[in-house]
Amino acid sequence: MSKKFNGILLNIRVRSEPIRVLVTGAAGQIAYSLLYSIAKGDVFGKDQPLVLILLDITPMMAVLDGVVMELQDCALPLLREVIATDKEDVAFKNLDVAILVGSMPRKEGMERKDLLKANVKIFKSQGSALDKYAKKTVKVIVVGNPANTNCLTASKSAPSIPKENFSCLTRLDHNRAKSQIALKVGVRADDVKNCIIWGNHSSTQYPDVSHAKVKVQGNEIGVYKAVKDDNWLKGDFIATVQQRGAAVIKARKLSSAMSAAKAICDHVRDIWFGTPEGEFVSMGVISDGNSYGIPEDLIYSFPVVIKNRSWKFVEGLPINDFSREKMDLTTKELMEEKETAVEYLSSA
């Protein structure tokens, strides 16, 4: 805003009210890579003060105290308060944004249905807490795996919050696809746009570059034309993106925390500020039964554009037979997951 003082026009910066941002699984390694970026303004802007609420299970509270100390020691001007808690009624109160990172990890010998059962309990509880304590405008981003089905569980457990306010993270897969194309063509990652991740955040996901563009020597051309290797694009490229998480674990003996944290920042920042003109991103959102032949009521990764903190499907993209087969495969897996989760949800 501007104000005159002794005839001189002064520009006065008016700070916003702090927003309340929750990160669950806050003592874990993804959160450790994520929290600094949020707190210093990379996600919600350099003028947006915030209160960070950190939720984890009771045995992790001592570790969480250390995370709080570090955030305090960063002396970040936007960070008004840090609240560490193991109580949902404290964590979910009056939230503007909930980033649900924490989930039950898959352990050796655990079947996928066992993983689903454990996570249904967690995300039913957190969905109910959102319903009871958070603002009805809250934006909910689910990261903890199986992310799509955990997101659906949370949404179904929070009936008073619009389903469109829930999304799950497939931006890491989207970024991996962009990066692989950029490396192959020899350009920067931001010279690649409009990759798509269809379906589940799992090894059945379909990284699709048939609508993507690459800027080469100042000109935008299709990825297939830029790469000039259809066999790679339909084979090793897809497998690399699908299996990238496992490859990182094999090499690092830990999951991909740094790249996951960057993808969360990208995802949430796009929700907050919108997508650039002419670009779309991948995001797990609720299907309406009318887009690309995907059944209603699945959290499925689609190409979306975002404006005024609301997403819309990118409609009308032609789908060839190769893509349809891949999309149907990941749809089948998601429907099976949903069936299992709904069964557990009704008995939980």
72 and 83 in contact (C-beta within 8 Å)? no
192 and 182 in contact (C-beta within 8 Å)? yes
98 and 90 in contact (C-beta within 8 Å)? no
| Catalytic annotation, pick one of 174, 201, 211, 267 | 201
Residue 160, token pair as written in the block: 């008073």
Task: Tell me whether strands 219-222 and 213-216 are parallel, antiparallel or unpaired.
Answer: antiparallel
Distances in whole angstroms, Cα of residue 8 to Cα of each of 3, 4, 5, 11, 91 = 8, 5, 5, 10, 46
- Residue found by looking up tokens 């389903």 in the block: 163
18 and 50 in contact (C-beta within 8 Å)? yes
Residue 15 sits at φ, ψ, to 5 deg, of -80, 145
Q: Residue 132 and residue 135: Cα distance in Å, rounded? A: 9
Task: Give 281's contacts (C-beta < 8 A, 6+ positions apart).
Answer: 171, 174, 266, 267, 270, 275, 303, 304, 305, 306
Which residues does residue 219 pair with via DSSP β-bridges, in sequence order?
Answer: 216
Q: Residue 33 and residue 36: Cα distance in Å, rounded? A: 7
Active site residue 201: yes
Q: Which residues are catalytic?
A: 201
